[in-house]
Amino acid sequence: AQSVTQPDIHITVSEGASLELRCNYSYGATPYLFWYVQSPGQGLQLLLKYFSGDTLVQGIKGFEAEFKRSQSSFNLRKPSVHWSDAAEYFCAVGSYNQGGKLIFGQGTELSVKP
Amino acid sequence: GAVVSQHPSWVICKSGTSVKIECRSLDFQATTMFWYRQFPKQSLMLMATSNEGSKATYEQGVEKDKFLINHASLTLSTLTVTSAHPEDSSFYICSARVWTGNSYEQYFGPGTRLTVT
């Protein structure tokens, strides 16, 4: 079955500390992988995406993610978190064969302490 | 570029009435749009795929007669919640699919919060 798992429902980090949000997927086809951020009551903003090539991808706002096929993972990282990064983060997987339909993980809520 | 709008952003309606939500791609055309539903503190659940000029494709478990989708133009898809009940209260988000040349991507609207009283 196709699925996306974000094991951490809620993470709290101190401002300036590093961040890693985990994402594991189970998908039959060659996946496209995405990370989105959602602020309260808002739609989703794309942080970064992977579909081929270099497995370390850079995104907006200083985020990066690494695709590890052997581990079926696509973890999101940021070296130094800012208070404005507090939000909900969603990992998603899709494919060309599925017409771009996305399966979302459960989300990880990030809180940032001063 | 690639902006998607939704209208209204927030709506309250009485139980038994219908409400229409619009999703527009402002600066590009989208033959395919998606409709999602999101409950508080939960993930996005795909409800249906809206294709311009044809019938929508609904995900398993979504009542097509309750959630009417119309995609009459390349820039507009509408979701009508018919005979709304309090359990239909939710955050509804649309997205527009684009082909970037080597992958599909979705651009999301800001969402519509529906409260049924």
User: Is the minimum CB–CB distance between A32 and chain B shorter than 8 Å?
Assistant: yes
C-alpha triplet B108, A74, A23: angle, nearest 5°: 80
Task: Check residue B1 and give its pLDDT.
Answer: 67
Distance from CA of B65 to the nearest CA of A (A): 22
Examine residue B8 and say whether the peptide bond preceding it is cis (omega within 30 degrees of 0). yes
Chain segment A64-101, per-residue pLDDT in tens = 999 999 999 999 999 999 999 999 999 999 887 778 88
pLDDT of residue A63: 98
The rounded distance, in Å, linking the Cα atoms of B116 and A72 is 41
Residue of B nearest to A89 (CA): B43
User: Looking at chain A, which residue has its C-alpha nearest residue B47?
Assistant: A101
Contact partners, residue A85, CB within 8 Å, separation at least 6? A19, A61, A78, A110, A112
* CA count, 13 A, side-chain hemisphere, A11: 23
At A43 the pLDDT is 82
The pLDDT assigned to A103 comes to: 92
Which residues of B touch chain A, with CB atoms under 8 Å apart? Answer: 4, 6, 32, 34, 41-44, 46, 49, 91, 93, 95, 97, 102-111, 113
Model confidence at A51, in pLDDT bands (50, 70, 90)? confident
Are B34 and A109 an interchain contact pair (Cβ–Cβ within 8 Å)? no
- Mean pLDDT rounded to a whole number for chain A: 93
Residue ranges for chain B with pLDDT beneath 70: 1
What's the pLDDT band for A52 if we cut at 50, 70, 90? confident
Q: CB distance B46–A45 less than 8 Å?
A: no
Which one of B43, B105, B111 has the shortest CB-CB distance to A106? B43
B67 neighbors B80 (Cβ within 8 angstroms): yes
DSSP state, A30?
A: P
Q: What percent of chain A stands above pLDDT 90?
A: 78
